[in-house]
Structure 1
Amino acid sequence: MNIKITGTGSYIPDTIEKNEAFHEHIFLNNDGSVINSPNEVIIEKFQAITGIAERRYAKAHLNSSDLGFFAAEKAIIDAKIDPETLDYIIVAHNFGDVKHDTIQSDMLPCLAARIKHSLRIKNPKCVAYDILFGCPGWIEGVIQAKAFIKAGMAKRCLVIGSETLSRVIDKHDRDAMIFSDGAGATVIEATEEEGGILEHECASYTYDEAYYLYFGNSNNQALDKNTRYIKMDGRKIYEFALTTVPNAMKTCLDNSGLDIKDVKKIFIHQANEKMDEAILKRFYRLYRTEIPEGVMPMSIQTLGNSSVATVPTLFDLVRNNQIENQSLKKGDVLIFASVGAGMHINAFVYKY
């Protein structure tokens, strides 16, 4: 028995927010002081570092659970399954449903229950639950689905990553330009077909690193102190990721018994273009080998960082030949990896 991804789907919002939209923002430092640079310069430097030129925002009437539902429908159709046969629906997110122009997260009921309801699944044995694991949430959901199936507790799972980060950003923080909205979904099931998930690795670094990403006040100190926004220590996250993620990927690949030369694609969380490129360089340096051309597909330039949605969305796009010069063929060895709030890291090796 092998455990494979048999269907994928993604939902990419229609609303495109280009970098030019931030020209009128009032960007402030963490202490509330004005940044002594024109917005054009701030945005130019931002794009040079992150690679982000535009991002996607969900329409006002849609919430994260709606986006997850849309992606789930596509994955179920792609897998050609009856949704009533699903044993688990696992939804990774960070903030629940945050309605447009509100400040309160809504997670009652959980997003997985909402999506199951929207899918009109009657089967009570289809267990629906959420996981909060930062940006690596979708990968962690896949790892959990693998564990359920391997233990004989399930045959088929639906794993979704969905987020509307545009609703928890501080418009006075330059980091607000990083975040976006989206959803990706996958059907994971036991199959006699060759390939599937070969090995995984995950870890939580919390002793010193737990609050590298956190909920904090606006940089505009005149605003309500009780309203919180997503905040991060970018430098510390960068340094953390450059050490831990390549090592986790190497451990995972080595435990799979495969060689670095077998790897055809690496699907890494789309957090920051320069950071992802640096992680890739560190990873291949561990094997003292050159980086193959086109091994790391990227979507961050136009889709931004949609947290748990970045990896499954990217995989769906490549799988459906929607990213230029990127494609997959049967037997390809893939590595999926992520890093995020917690601080959590994870990875799995997959034979397509």
Structure 2
Amino acid sequence: MTLRSVVLGTGHYLPDRVIENSWFEERLDTTDEWIRARTGIERRHFAAEGQATSDMGIRAARAALDKAGLRPDDIDGIILATSTPDHTFPASATMIQHGLGMTHGFAYDVQAVCAGFVFALANGDAMIRSGMARRVLVIGSETFSRILDWSDRGTCVLFGDGAGAVVLEGQEGAGASEDRGILASDLNSDGQYRDLLYVDGGVSTTGTAGQLRMQGNLVFRHAVEKLAKTAHTALDKAGLTTADVDWLVPHQANARIITATAQKMGLSMDKVVLTVADHGNTSAASIPLALSVADAQGRFRPGDVIVTEAIGGGLSWGSVVLRW
């Protein structure tokens, strides 16, 4: 028998403040048409003043626990993927742990930018398979609106805030590709491309939070190639092919990247979960947000094969294949 990490529940939270593209038209040399054509984004949510990354993570976590029919006492650990923590330390995951009323178990952050949730999901799976935990709450939560340069029309229109979460539980499987749960993962990074997407501040360099910088055209080129490759690698590890894929749930960075990646994988767009139009790029929160939205809509069926993949600053990229 093989221990598999099965998704028991999903949940998400979006701040109340909705920012339509027209908001940027009043402040920048841009238009709603320009933003939609190049990104597919129509609106995004921004956190309220005083609303922190952990605040949103708590809301998403509670929703996921409710969906799973569990309480915080039933969880052994929390892994939070974020690039916008509440503080330099302690980990924002501990803030979520406290907010949920947990005084047991572990809680820590994972930082792999937009690929963070994929890395956190693989971490949670490893914890379960190693016997260190039976149930793990994996969360992605971001307040990217706090690190944007509002004069840079090429980046500030892309991002939004939000949080998503999944509850993983260890369950025994036969060790075959027909098992429920996480079947395979593939993680990668290459620091030579760090200047393509980064924040120009930090504790040991400038002593400031900094602002986001990106070379969009180069990121686009790397994204399509690397996302398709990592998905194929994870599918190979799982003993599956793209013909077995029921749903692609990609990082919601840009509709053009998502479409190009699906085409490269040979998947039709009716198998792709798209939320970028309403949420923008929420970095590490985008995949759990998309999973939760699609789950709430009843789009996933037991036994469906789902591929999640993401790329972010680092560059860091990876994928996870799971059966619902």
TM-score by length of 1: 0.85
Letter in 2 for 1:14: D
CA distance in 1, matches of 2:91, 2:306: 31
Aligned to 1:133: 112
Aligned to 1:350: 322
Letter in 2 for 1:150: R
Letter in 1 for 2:239: G
Instruction: Give 1:81 deviation, angstroms.
Output: 2.0
Letter in 2 for 1:243: E
Structure 2 residue 88 is the aligned partner of structure 1 residue 107 = yes
Structure 2 residue 5 is the aligned partner of structure 1 residue 3 = yes
Q: Identity of paired residues, percent?
A: 32
1:120-269 residue pairs with structure 2 within 5 A? 120-123=101-104, 126-174=105-153, 175-192=155-172, 194-207=179-192, 209-216=193-200, 228-269=210-251
81, 105, 121: which one pairs with 1:92? 81
CA distance in 1, matches of 2:190, 2:35: 28
Secondary structure, aligned partner of 2:11: strand
CA distance in 1, matches of 2:71, 2:208: 45
1:273-292 residue pairs with structure 2 within 5 A? 273-284=255-266, 291-292=267-268
Aligned to 1:221: none
CA distance in 2, matches of 1:192, 1:81: 19
The count of residues paired between Structure 1 and Structure 2 equals 312
Q: Are the aligned partners of 2:262 and 2:269 in contact in 1 as well (CA < 8 Å)?
A: no
Aligned to 1:34: none
Aligned-pair Cα RMSD in Å = 1.8
CA distance in 2, matches of 1:146, 1:245: 21
16, 19, 24: which one pairs with 1:17? 19
Letter in 2 for 1:67: M
CA deviation string 1:74-117 (max 9, x = no partner): 111111223123222111100212xxxxxxxx233210110111
Instruction: Give 1:299 deviation, angstroms.
Output: 0.6
Secondary structure, aligned partner of 2:184: strand
Structure 2 residue 40 is the aligned partner of structure 1 residue 75 = no
Quick check: which has more Rg, 1 or 2?
1
30, 35, 53: which one pairs with 1:39? 30
Secondary structure, aligned partner of 1:350: strand
Aligned to 1:116: 97
299, 302, 323: which one pairs with 1:327? 299
Instruction: Give 1:227 deviation, angstroms.
Output: 7.1
Aligned to 1:340: 312
Aligned to 2:40: 51
Aligned to 1:62: 51
Larger relative helix fraction: 2
TM-score by length of 2: 0.92
Secondary structure, aligned partner of 2:259: helix
CA distance in 2, matches of 1:262, 1:153: 31
Runs (4+) off by over 4 Å: none
Letter in 2 for 1:39: T
Letter in 2 for 1:73: R
